[in-house]
A = this chain, B = another copy of it.
Amino acid sequence: MRLRAIISYDGSAFSGYQVQPGKRTVQAEIERVLQIMHKGTVVKVVASGRTDAGVHATGQVIHYDSPLTLPMDRWRTALNVQLPGDIRVLSVEQVQDDFHARYDAVGKTYRYIWSLKEVHSPFERNYSVHVERYKPNIEWMKEASVHLLGTHDFSSFCASNTSVKDFVRTVHSIRLEVHEELNQLHMEISGNGFLYNMVRIIAGTLWEIGIEKKSVEDLPEILRSCNRKNAGKTAPAHGLYLEKVVYLG
């Protein structure tokens, strides 16, 4: 039986999502708990994609196979009881045997959060990015973001250490919004898929436009150049959240 789960995790204390020998990772924690539930049998977990060290998730999707005849509403509790508090299973459901969390994903939504507080709150220090003494011009960031909408070669917004050959992706929407009550700036970005570090490089580039290190007019040229060097710095991992993975049907 194939199961699909939506999970949330605080990336702060993980060396990313994917299993790495000797490191604490989200995948390793989930596989450890599934192995206990399956009396020692290894259960492989497949996610929609990996996330880097420090990156958070509020809607990561995984799949795994299990012969257990557990009532569906017991799965979530059974996993959460044994998982550490920085990973929570939000839901578990049965899916068709050929469902694949990675190959079947047709879209993703990420969120990037900056704190606009004068002093960074100690409660937010791992959950939003604070840049001392800078107030970004959010209208400029919005104007620039429009250039990224649609289908483009995003080579300029991809970390150079990648094995990917096709750099064309479609960005469906980018919303920049100030949450007054939290004194935070959020960027919500949706697309059919994202290259390695693409969201963080977009966040870093828009931020540089906001603080006048780059101008709105630079963005089309950065995109056209297909050269990572022309985009802004990669924004820090701890401001990034994988929020949603979209599947057909």
Interface residue ranges, A against B (CB under 8 Å): 8-10, 56, 76, 80, 85-90, 119-123, 125, 127
Q: Which residues of B contact A9 (CB under 8 A)?
A: 122
Contact assessment for A88 and B121 in the assembled complex, using a CB-CB cutoff below 8 Å: yes
Contact assessment for A119 and B87 in the assembled complex, using a CB-CB cutoff below 8 Å: no
Contact assessment for A119 and B85 in the assembled complex, using a CB-CB cutoff below 8 Å: no
**CB nearest neighbor in B for A9:** B122
- Minimum CB–CB distance from A146 to chain B (whole Å) comes to 29
Q: Provide the bound-state CA to CA distance between A121 and B87, in Å.
A: 9
- Minimum CB–CB distance from A21 to chain B (whole Å) comes to 24
Q: Provide the bound-state CA to CA distance between A85 and B125, in Å.
A: 7
Q: Provide the bound-state CA to CA distance between A9 and B123, in Å.
A: 8
Q: Provide the bound-state CA to CA distance between A86 and B12, in Å.
A: 14
Q: Which residues of B contact A10 (CB under 8 A)?
A: 122-123, 125
Q: A76-B119, A119-B76, A119-B80 are in contact. Are A125 and B86 (CB under 8 A)?
A: yes
Q: Which residues of B contact A121 (CB under 8 A)?
A: 8, 88
Q: Provide the bound-state CA to CA distance between A56 and B124, in Å.
A: 13
Q: Which residues of B contact A89 (CB under 8 A)?
A: 119
**CB nearest neighbor in B for A86:** B122
Q: Provide the bound-state CA to CA distance between A88 and B124, in Å.
A: 11
Q: Which residues of B contact A125 (CB under 8 A)?
A: 10, 85-86
The 5 closest A-B pairs by CB, nearest first: A10-B122, A85-B125, A86-B122, A88-B119, A88-B122
**CB nearest neighbor in B for A126:** B85
Contact assessment for B122 and A8 in the assembled complex, using a CB-CB cutoff below 8 Å: yes
A8-B122, A9-B122 known; 19 new pairs, CB 8 Å cut-off, are A8-B119, A8-B121, A8-B123, A10-B122, A10-B123, A10-B125, A56-B123, A85-B122, A85-B125, A86-B122, A86-B125, A87-B122, A88-B119, A88-B120, A88-B121, A88-B122, A89-B119, A90-B119, A123-B127
- Minimum CB–CB distance from A90 to chain B (whole Å) comes to 6
Q: Provide the bound-state CA to CA distance between A8 and B120, in Å.
A: 10
**CB nearest neighbor in B for A10:** B122
- Chain A to chain B contacts (Cβ below 8 Å), 24 pairs: A8-B119, A8-B121, A8-B122, A8-B123, A9-B122, A10-B122, A10-B123, A10-B125, A56-B123, A76-B119, A80-B119, A85-B120, A85-B122, A85-B125, A86-B122, A86-B125, A87-B122, A88-B119, A88-B120, A88-B121, A88-B122, A89-B119, A90-B119, A123-B127
